[in-house]
Chain A
């Protein structure tokens, strides 16, 4: 009975997924999200990418998405999509890595993409974005806009992605104001609005006048607005949460990448690779520069253009570690592998990376 019910349910689900296939030449692209599309953050931005793909390709593609998929149980979601005629299946969370890899091996004719992971196979590509480029820009803005000379930084977990973001932020800040200070508070969560707000309050109580954040909710930015101070948006344009406090947002922008990969599958040029794109590739986008004087805005735009053109590289030497040892020599550029494993602060940060 139970088995009958389960297979009936599976059939219904596959029918629902296949049902709308319609014209045979439409290519089907499936997305798997870890969170709800309504999180107004990470999964939401991926879904904007999916909508962009649908809009750009029109009748040529049909997109499907599965939201709120638990990482441990994601294999079923990938198999479901692969079985129901999807030619390109995209998983957007780090924790999907092994389940997706396993399913990719069983479906060699389907192409797979995995965001923020590092395991590849002949039909599984990985991709991620160089968010630290945006953090270099907001570091410069913060250094120009801060009267106190101290900025507060709400961090999630002390992992390389976040630590390299703090370093890039401070390198940017120091490039316009060498004595810039930062206070860092870790909340040990990606998403806990209450705790993020408390962290921002604690930082504001210590006299910081700008809040930067590497957590997912708009709560820290809202605290900055409430206190009459300034802040930055994370993942999406958060200006509606804090119209007076927001300076700009570092936005995830996956649409162009999804269009490119879909076209590559269509014309047969798709190949397994790793993509780590930044501002130049359009994977990282800066929100509108607002609530700042024109000269600061101009500086930010110039920096953005310089990073895009490759004239400015955030992790270019000389870079000195806290203890004074040289991490990157003058004129040299830190290799990607080192950025991906970064676990130390640059000189000028008066704090320790939690171990």
Chain B
């Protein structure tokens, strides 16, 4: 098989994996702090509409990405007010956030339907990007891809090696003890949720600025839900999020390439691979970790300080 074709396939796998990885790494941080936010899809779609609107008005992809991220943070702030401030049910609030996001994004994007922009520029380093076989794959992606990898590396390092990361994990595993030790449980959770929202917003703006550079209602098409599944699949480990995103994105894209090549693969089945893989991962995890689950122990449990 010719190396240019292989490179092209791998590039499409990377672009398909990027929004999943960015949204999932944000959700992972929120969940490690003990908050389950099912509103990823809603925050993503708002990020897509706000990101496109801002980029269109300012004619700057960077400002668009920034605005998309901020809109995700704002959506997460609303969620945090409900589940952290008022200790509301996290599942119900998250679902409400998704529904709200769908409507809100349509409203924000209404004036931008049918407008188009050029896609976010790709990195171009003379001499490196032109390298045959892997140049474009490694040195020719757009900024979202590198930002996504940097985010995952930062979260992996932060959760494992920094005081703040360990504190966050303590809050997610036993908020009562963390509270007794004097950690500000609610504030830490708030920051984790806001970080998750920012990542979802960034992932959404990637869709409307780089992946398919236009705005259309419902354009996330369920990617927020796949990101949620991805966190479970990754058993709440940052680097596994990257591997899972490549697997999930790859399953989708490879079957499209297989069809174009005329290789008969059942498309419907391959579309279900992310979900089947998640179920399988859950089975394996509960098999292996019978001593203790991989999930943060306080996941989904509201914290109310006893006085």
Residues of chain B lying within 8 A (CB to CB) of residue A201: 8, 12
State the main secondary structure of chain A at its contact with B.
Answer: mixed
A156 CB → nearest B CB, Å: 11
B106 touches A36 (CB 8 A): yes
State the main secondary structure of chain B at its contact with A.
Answer: helix
Residues of chain A lying within 8 A (CB to CB) of residue B267: 186, 188, 354
Residues of chain B lying within 8 A (CB to CB) of residue A241: 114, 116, 214
Answer whether residue B131 sits at the interface, using C-beta atoms and an 8 A cutoff: no
Answer whether residue B9 sits at the interface, using C-beta atoms and an 8 A cutoff: yes
Closest to A222 in B: B212
Chain A residue total in the interface (Cβ 8 A): 40
Partner of A206, one of B213, B261, B264, B266: B261
B252 touches A193 (CB 8 A): no
A39 touches B113 (CB 8 A): yes
Residues of chain A lying within 8 A (CB to CB) of residue B222: 192
Given A38-B106, A38-B110, A193-B216, A184 contacting B256 (CB threshold 8 A): no
Q: Fill in one digit per residue for A195-233: 1 if any B CB lies within 8 Å of its CB, else 0.
A: 111110111011000000000011100100010000000
B219 touches A193 (CB 8 A): yes
Given A193-B211, A194-B16, A187 contacting B256 (CB threshold 8 A): yes
B217 touches A35 (CB 8 A): yes
List B residues 1-56 near A (Cβ within 8 Å). 5, 8-9, 12, 15-16, 19
Chain B residue total in the interface (Cβ 8 A): 39
Answer whether residue B305 sits at the interface, using C-beta atoms and an 8 A cutoff: no
B9 touches A205 (CB 8 A): yes
Closest to A38 in B: B113
B142 CB → nearest A CB, Å: 13
B121 CB → nearest A CB, Å: 13
Residues of chain B lying within 8 A (CB to CB) of residue A222: 116, 212-214
Answer whether residue A120 sits at the interface, using C-beta atoms and an 8 A cutoff: no
Answer whether residue A191 sits at the interface, using C-beta atoms and an 8 A cutoff: yes
Q: In the complex, what distance in Å separates the CA atom of A68 from the CA atom of B221?
A: 15
Residues of chain B lying within 8 A (CB to CB) of residue A68: 106
B119 touches A195 (CB 8 A): no
B104 CB → nearest A CB, Å: 12
B214 touches A202 (CB 8 A): no
Q: In the complex, what distance in Å separates the CA atom of A217 from the CA atom of B221?
A: 12
Interface centre among B15, B114, B119 (most CB of A within 10 A): B114
A183 touches B221 (CB 8 A): no
Answer whether residue B253 sits at the interface, using C-beta atoms and an 8 A cutoff: yes
Q: In the complex, what distance in Å separates the CA atom of A226 from the CA atom of B262?
A: 24
**Chain B contacts to A: CB under 8 angstroms:** 5, 8-9, 12, 15-16, 19, 106, 109-110, 113-114, 116, 119, 207, 211-214, 216-219, 221-223, 252-253, 256-257, 259-262, 264, 266-268, 271
Interchain Cβ contacts under 8 Å between A and B, 20 examples: A39-B113, A39-B217, A40-B113, A188-B271, A191-B216, A193-B221, A194-B221, A194-B223, A195-B221, A198-B252, A198-B256, A199-B256, A199-B259, A202-B257, A202-B260, A205-B5, A205-B260, A226-B119, A240-B116, A352-B264
Shortest Cβ-Cβ A-B pairs, 5 listed: A192-B221, A193-B212, A202-B260, A38-B113, A185-B259
**Chain A contacts to B: CB under 8 angstroms:** 35-36, 38-40, 44, 68, 152, 183-189, 191-199, 201-203, 205-206, 217-219, 222, 226, 240-241, 350-352, 354
